[in-house]
Amino acid sequence: MKLALAFVRNKSGAAAAEMVLVTPLLMILIFGAFEAGNFFWNEHIVIKAVRDGARFAGRQSFAKYSCAAITDAAIETQIKNMTRTGQTTGGTARVAGWTDTQVSISVSCNATTTQGIYTNHAGGAPVVTVSTTLPYTPFFGTLGFDTSGLNLTASAQSAVMGI
């Protein structure tokens, strides 16, 4: 009985036992925070990239657009490349694995805007929408963080103010 009471009162290994119990939780929190930070950083990059692509598209000539589509295939390629890489030709993707097929461009016309630079443009002001959805590539994917359902999605619009 005396031995059992001495064992219960002994506190010499309590800190080590608590550390063993808390360490896995701390590791999950640390790696989870890094993974969340990486996700938000990649999302920020994609949002800014889509905005750059829409701005570039908005500065092209009116002749490059109809109210339904882009009439110049070379400009469409340049817009997609600008969105992905920040350059009209060449460059490397801002986010690993991002391809041109994941960038979509659509054109519509705002028929209520027919004044100013849009006076002679049939259908009103052309508006270009650049959007993308790409799967998130995890930072610690090999550690078992399942991010298969996470996508990076962004969309931006710009009115064409071309020549």
Confidence of residue 42 (pLDDT cuts 50, 70, 90): very high
Predicted pLDDT of residue 50: 97
Which string of DSSP letters, residue by residue, matches 72-133?
Answer: -HHHHHHHHHHHHHSSSSS---SSTT--GGGEEEEEEEETT--SGGGTTSTTSEEEEEEEEE
pLDDT, tens digit (0-9, with 9 covering 90-100), for 112-143: 776 677 777 777 788 899 999 999 888 777 66
If phi > 0 it is left, if psi is from -120 to 50 it is alpha, else beta; for residue 88 that is: alpha
- Measured in whole angstroms, how far is the alpha carbon of residue 151 from the centre of its chain? 8
Tokens of 113: 């805007």
* Among the listed residues 46, 32, 78, 40, the one whose alpha carbon sits nearest the alpha carbon of residue 59: 78
Map residue 155 onto helix, strand or coil. Answer: strand
Q: Which long-range contacts (CB under 8 A, 24 or more apart) does 26-33 make?
A: 31/140, 31/143, 31/145, 32/145
Averaged pLDDT for residues 65-88: 91
Q: What percent of the chain has pLDDT over 70?
A: 91
Give pTM, 2 decimals: 0.81
Averaged pLDDT for residues 83-92: 93
Residues ≥6 apart with Cβ < 8 Å to 105:
53, 57, 70, 76, 79, 80, 128, 129, 130
Q: What percent of the chain has pLDDT over 90?
A: 47
Predicted pLDDT of residue 25: 93
